[in-house]
Amino acid sequence: MWQICWAYNYVSLFLKTFIIPCFIFLCIWNEAAPSGSNIHVSSGFAFADVIGGDIFFEIIEPQELEYTYRVRPAKDFGVSFNESFMGQGVPLVPVDPPCGCGWPHNADDLEGNIALVERGECSFLSKAVRAEETGARAIIVADHDQQSDEFFIEMISDSTTREAHIPAGFLLGKNG
């Protein structure tokens, strides 16, 4: 499927003229739940599921992106997605430039929101650290390779001693 890649480019194209808030709802995996258990959380008109540690979030605006997406949390860096995201509309803001390696042109728009970046050009940890420096609450790294639609990449730290203190997740290529 290519709809998210197309939508990401659509949003990036219009980012310079106005921000299209993509409100997401995240449900957090309960650390005490046994592995593989399904937790369903309902909050008003939106919902999210967590299955086996993967996080499912729902974009509710704009309508052309309305869908439930699956994100794999980073393996060995960042913090867990927690209850602070549950049931709250949090804007998902595409980073400009999309790689998320340098200081973003839209850094002010990322503060308090979730940064959406593309995979590549620097380490996953570098992207998370940069997003945290802008004040983002979390980061989602989208795989822009549409052929990579069956297997999640494990987001691991690099060989530096840097640390990220925000949640980080990976979005598959078919949805990225």
Question: pLDDT tens, 62-111?
Answer: 888 888 888 888 888 999 887 666 656 788 899 999 999 999 999 999 99
**Topology of the domain comprising 3-171:** Glucose Oxidase; domain 1 (3.50.30)
Q: Mean pLDDT of all residues in the chain?
A: 70
Query: What's the pLDDT tens digit per position in 40-62?
Result: 333 333 334 455 677 888 888 78
What would the pLDDT profile of 24-40 be if each residue is shown by its tens digit? 333 333 333 333 323 23
What is the three-state SS of the chain? CCHHHHHHHHHHHHCCCCCCCEEEEECCCCCCCCCCCEEEEEECCEEEEEECCEEEEEECCCHHHCEEEEEEECCCCCCCCCHHHCCCCEEEEECCCCCCCCCCCCHHHHCCCEEEEECCCCCHHHHHHHHHHHCCCEEEEECCCCCCCCCCCCCCCCCCCCCCCCCEEEECCCCC
